[in-house]
Every structure is written in structure tokens, then in C-alpha cells.
A and B are shown apart, each in its own frame.
Chain A
Amino acid sequence: MITSMIRRHPSVTLLSRMLDGMLDSRTQATLEQHVDSCVSCEETQVALAKTKTVLQGLPGLEENLIREPQTPLFFIPPARPTFQKGLLIGAFMGIGLVSVIAAFGPTQPPLRVISSTPSVVSSSEGALDVQVEPGSSLRTMAPGTVDLEIPDQLLLRLKPGATVTWQQLGIHWFNRRPHIIVNLMRGQMLARTREDFWGSNLEVRTPTANATVKGTAFSVNVDPSHDETTLKVLAGSVFFSPHLGKVGVNVKAGQMSRIQAERLPHPPEALAPAERKALLEAYQIGTDPLLALVIGGGPERTEELLGSATLYVSDRYNPKLQPFLRKTVQELNDAILQRDTTKQEGAVKILEMSLDYLKDPELEVPLRLFMGAYAARLGDPVRAYTHFHQVVQEYPRHSLASVGLAAMGVIAEKQFRNIDVARENFSRVLAKYPKSPESLLAKEFLKKHPSTTVGER
């Protein structure tokens, strides 16, 4: 083969490879023999060698001519310590306080696997009831799913084909709330936060995006083949930004957005009814509630309730949940998603009549709050106010009682246009539920409408 090649002049590629000693010994020897006897090829070979030598001799940029960048974009300069006496004392006291707090409390949130299909999980962390450790990873393979939980705070579901790494599983040093950063490399993760999650932090990082959550139900889906992350929010709101980026959008309940690699998020757009319905799966993680209001866990939930909140109703058998109740709630949800007002009103009438017989907070509170919100939407503030009031009166310790009270404040302000009554309700929120998300709404309202005393008048 080489002999036949040598009858013609060898290609410049062969000569170049010969120069670098990148040919097998036989070809190398044959070529060298040809080059020695062929003036044209010898000339080419010499030219290539000279070129290589010239390139090899090119100097690098002289060190003193390489300018140090003033502040590289990716380098955050360390803050210069200022040795002021007061600050130093403060710092020592702070360190002491943190040490005391850390010494008496857990350092890691108890995130545990509550349900999995062990044969399809490629990690020791996938075993049932195992506490997840920071830095560990988890991969689910079709058709398995893994559910995880921090009791009363957070529920996560990894759908088939999802890969996650728990980058941070910590407790915030000051408020002692979970602070979780999870890297979702591929696949889909569903999340739902629960009553006690407010004040905690969950950040889902994907190769292209970050989703920062305060309290909500949502899904994040990573499609590595298109370098794209899709966020769908069923309830609450999620701050959605490019990977490690600061600029992003707030995706609210019933909205979705997408981020492609190194791009800004798409403006949020409304989820299709079928997509909203599919996201209700977030309520099936762990022990699903018999009946639940589909609202977030942050201060936005009052607005969501009065906006277009739906209800979740469980499929599992429970004697408390009468079949007619389940069927009617399902019909109502479908009618809301399809915007069929006639069907909605029919279902609401049935549910409203059944309310007096329920007498079970698990069912009555979400249903009554929903009825109140529905009445408010129809422009019947008295009926709305009555429902909210009943929840606050009868179930003051229920985790949604603060939402009822805040909703009373909003109805008083917006529909009755009675600022005094609204102020009274918001003051009660602040007094009775100071740690609830609604306390933020109350503070905001009271700041805007401070009480006026007789003396000031």
C-alpha cells in the first residue's frame, strides 16, 4: 500500500505526521526513503519543519505584560477585616451565640426516604427510612420513584430517570430552619412544602437554572438533551433564575417557565388545565391529605386562595371521605379548570350544604375556606366573610386559621371598604399568629394604615 502511495507524492498530512513521528515504523521508514530521493517532497518537508520550529519558538506573553484583571467577574474579593473594637466584641459574642445554638440543636434536617422501589435505585441512600446525607446522590431508573420527607415540612418525589445530589442539607444557624440545596442533574422532581416549612429554604439547582422556594408545590424538569429546565408551579411561587444567576422571574401558582443554557428565563405563561391537574401528584407524596387547598406556604397564599385556588381530593379509601364528597370536589375542580361556571355553581351548592355535617377539621377547614373564597369571587362578601369567620372561630389552632383571618382582613379592606375592620383583623393575625406567613401581610397592611388615636384627630 505504501509502495503504491509512494508512486505519487505523499500527502502533506503524511509528511506532517512523519515530522511528528506519528506514523508506524514501517511507513515512517518508507516515507523517509522517498523524501530523501524526491526534491519536491523534501522541500515540503523542510518547509513544514521550519514552520513547526518557528511556531515552537513563539514566545508566550511576557509575564509583566499580562495585566492582572482588576476584579475578575467570577472572583468575589474577600471583605477586608476592620479591626474596630466594638465590631470585634460583637463578632466574638456572635460566634459564642452560634456555638451555643449549634451545640444544642441538630445540624442536619431529618430528610428521609419514605417510599422507594429499592431494586431501581442505584444508591445506598435509596433504602427505606435511611436518612439522606449531604453530598450523597440518588438516581431513579424507570419505572421507579423515590419519595422523601422532612416531617411536617417538605415532601419530594423523584420521578423515574431523575438524578440528584444533595449539595447542602443544613440548618440555618439563626432561625434553625432547614436550608437545602439539591442539584437535579436530569429528570423530574416534584415538591410540596407543608405547614411548618415557612421560613426554611429549598433551592433546586439544575445545569441551566436555579429554582428558589419558600413555600409551594411545584415540579422541576431537566432535559439534558436540550440543555433546558422547565419549572411548573401549582401553588405558591418560585424564584427561577439561570444557574447561579441573580436575575430571574417569580413564577406564580398556575404558571410555568423554561430556561435554556446560559439564557434568561422565558416570561411565565399560564399552565394548561391538564398540566395543573397532573401537578396535583405533588399532593400524593407521602400520606396524602384527604382534602387540601391547593395553595402555597408563603404570604402569597391568601391572594392565591382568593384568586383561583382549587382543591385536592384523595383517591384513597377513608370512611370520613364520603364518595359523593370526593366526586363533587373532582367535578368542581374540573369545572374550575374548564371555566364552566354553571357546573361550578352546582357543585358549590352541594358542597356548601354538606359543610354543616362534616365537623372534621381535616375536611371542613379547607372546604370552608374554599367556599369563602368562591363566594368572594362571585361578589358575595358577606357569605365569604361568614365562612372565614367560622373557620377562625371553630378551629383557631388549625394551620390554615391564619389564612382565614387574613382573608377576612382582605375582604374587609377590598370589598367592604372598611379599613377599621380590616385593621382589627390584621392586628389579630399579628397577635395570634406572629410566626405565620400571614403576619407579613398584616405588618404590611398596618404599616400602610396605622391606627389613628383620638388625640391625633
Chain B
Amino acid sequence: MSVLYARYRRKVMNYLYRYTGNRSSAEELTQDTFLRVVQNVHRYRPTGSVAGWIYRIAGNVGLNSLRDKPKVHEISLDEPMELEGNSVNRSEVIPGPSLRPDEEAIQTERDSAVQRALLQIPPLYREVMILCDIEGYPYREVADMLHCPINTVASRLARGRAQLAQLLGYLRRNEP
């Protein structure tokens, strides 16, 4: 179990971070995910990949967290905050382990914008986008993970990409 944890913790946390957009939630949900992995380890069937199985659990945990969102408002370090009239990322205000060059700052701002837009995509499309585009899993594997037909993966991914493209201004609203 500890091997699984060591191998997949970071991947799962990344996935849940992209899914929720909140680092502390992602950490908590990663704990939840591995707790469920332990509790359900007897249900794992060696027909599918372990990674797929863990991602499927992580996906359910992520989806449940969105459903049961706490009423208390959590402040994420990645959420923008108003500082001297400018909107900045909270994590940027806290001194990091090293100073970032200007280029990195621009890149970070772009990434934050993409992450914010990603959070506006419906969860069903979002999870497929994370798995296919960010994590790089092929359609077939994602279909296995999500227990759905490969065509469903393809259409969710396409719709998600189209919506994100609109949100990022790459595509006009009236496009197919």
C-alpha cells in the first residue's frame, strides 16, 4: 500500500488540484482517495490498470467534494486576491522557495487563467480533459477508468476543449 501511495500520491494530488483548483482541498481529497483505496483494495480486479482504478476513485472523491462543498468559504492560495488595486495570486504574495524571473511570472499568470477557466467547465468534461490532456492518458484507458464508452470520452473531451477555448478567447461563442 505504501508503494502505491508513494507512486501515485503526486499524480493524484495534481489531478485533484486541477479538478478543484484548490491546493489544500487537493491535499485533503488525496488523503480521502487513498483512504478509499485502502478500504476497497479487495474490490480491485487485476483486469484494469492500478492507475486507472486509483484515478477512478480520485474522480469520485473529487466529484463528491464538489457536490458536498462546505458552506464555510475556504481561501485557496491560488485564488486571486485584490492587492493595492491589482488582482494577484495569493501564493505569489507568500515568499516562495526561490524568486521567480519575470518570464516565469507571466507563465504563472497564464497558467492561473487557464486553471480558473478550467474550473468553469462542467466536472464531467473537466475530468476527461485532465486525464487526457494534462495527464496524457489515451482515450481507451480513460474510458476504462471512468467506466464509459470510448465515444463518450471523445465527445466529453471535445465539448470540454471547445468550452475552454471559448473561455480563453480562442474561439468565438457561435462556433460549432
* List of B residues within 8 angstroms of A20 by Cβ: 132, 139
Residues on A with beta carbons closer than 8 Å to the beta carbon of B10: 60-61, 63, 66
Contact with B along A36-67 (1 / 0, CB 8 A): 00001101101110111011111111011111
Q: Which of A22, A43, A56, A262 meets B39, CB within 8 Å? A: A262
Complex interface residues of chain B between 1 and 58 (CB less than 8 A to chain A): 1-2, 5, 9-10, 13-14, 17-18, 23, 26-27, 31, 34-35, 38-39, 42-43
A22 touches B133 (CB 8 A): no
> Interface code B144-170, partner A: CB below 8 Å = 1, 0 otherwise?
000000000011011101101100101
Cβ of A119 to closest chain B Cβ, rounded Å: 27
Q: Is B66 an interface residue (CB 8 A)?
A: no
* A17 contact set on B, CB distance < 8 A: 154, 158
In the complex, whether B176 has a CB less than 8 A from a CB of chain A is yes
Interface segment among A7-15, A228-236, A310-318, A425-433: the answer is: A7-15
Select A47's contact among B17, B97, B171, beta carbons within 8 Å. B171
Known contacts A51-B168, A63-B10: A13-B134 contact under CB 8 Å: no
Q: CB of A243 within 8 A of chain B?
A: yes
Residue of B nearest to A56 (CB): B133
> Using Cβ atoms and an 8 Å threshold, which residues of chain A touch B162?
12, 16, 44, 47-48
Query: Within A285-335, which residues are at the interface with B (CB < 8 Å)?
Result: none
**A59 CA to B110 CA, complexed, in Å:** 11
Contact of A244 with B by CB under 8 A: yes
Shortest A320–chain B CB gap in Å is 47
Q: In the bound complex, what is the Cα–Cα distance between A226 and B175 (angstroms)?
A: 45
- Checking A43, A59, A60, A63 against B171 with a beta-carbon cut-off of 8 angstroms, the contacting residue is A43
Please report the C-alpha to C-alpha distance between residue A106 and residue B161 in the assembled complex, in whole angstroms.
65
Closest to A227 in B: B43
Q: Quick check: is A207 within 8 A (CB to CB) of the other chain? A: yes
**Given A55-B133, A56-B134, A64-B97, does the pair A13, B165 have CB atoms closer than 8 Å?**
no
A48 touches B161 (CB 8 A): yes
Which chain A residues lie closer than 8 Å to B110 at the CB level? 54
A60 contacts which chain B residues (CB < 8 A)?
A: 10, 14
CB pair B165–A47 under 8 Å, yes or no, is yes
Instruction: Output the least CB separation between A343 and chain B (Å).
Output: 48
Q: Establish whether residues A183 and B171, one from each chain, have CB atoms under 8 Å apart when the complex forms.
A: no
Complex contact B158–A13 (CB within 8 A): yes
Do A59 and B176 form a contact, CB below 8 Å, given A13-B158, A72-B34, A74-B34? Answer: no
Contact B175 A47 (CB under 8 A): yes
Contacting residues of chain A (66-116) with chain B, CB-CB under 8 angstroms: 66-67, 69, 72-75
Are B154 and A207 in touch, CB under 8 angstroms? no
CB closest chain-A residue, reference B77: A65
With A61-B13, A61-B14 known as contacts, the answer to whether A43 contacts B175 (CB < 8 A) is: yes
Q: Shortest CB–CB separation between residue A295 and chain B, in angstroms?
A: 34
Knowing A13-B158, A59-B111, A74-B35, say if A50 contacts B176 (CB, 8 Å).
no
B167 to chain A, nearest CB (A): 9
B26 to chain A: which residues have CB within 8 Å? 61
Do A9 and B170 touch (CB < 8 A)? no
A16 CB contacts on chain B under 8 angstroms: 154, 157-158, 161-162
Q: Which residues of B contact A244 (CB under 8 A)?
A: 38-39
Quick one: given A58-B134, A60-B14, A244-B39, are A51 and B170 in contact (CB under 8 Å)? Answer: yes
User: B168 to chain A: which residues have CB within 8 Å?
Assistant: 50-51, 54
Assuming the contacts A22-B154, A51-B164, asked whether A74 and B17 have C-beta atoms less than 8 A apart, the reply is no
Q: Is the CB of B176 within 8 A of A9?
A: yes
- Tell me how far the C-beta of A262 lies from the nearest C-beta in chain B, rounded to whole angstroms: 7
Residue B115 CB within 8 A of the other chain: yes
Task: Name A residues whose Cβ lies closer than 8 Å to a Cβ of B.
Answer: 9-17, 20, 22, 40-41, 43-44, 46-48, 50-52, 54-61, 63-67, 69, 72-75, 183, 185, 207, 243-244, 262
Q: What are 12 A-B contacts defined by CB distance under 8 Å?
A: A11-B158, A44-B162, A48-B158, A50-B168, A61-B10, A65-B96, A66-B13, A72-B5, A74-B38, A75-B2, A207-B43, A243-B39
- 4 shortest A-B CB distances, which residue pairs? A16-B158, A55-B133, A47-B170, A47-B171
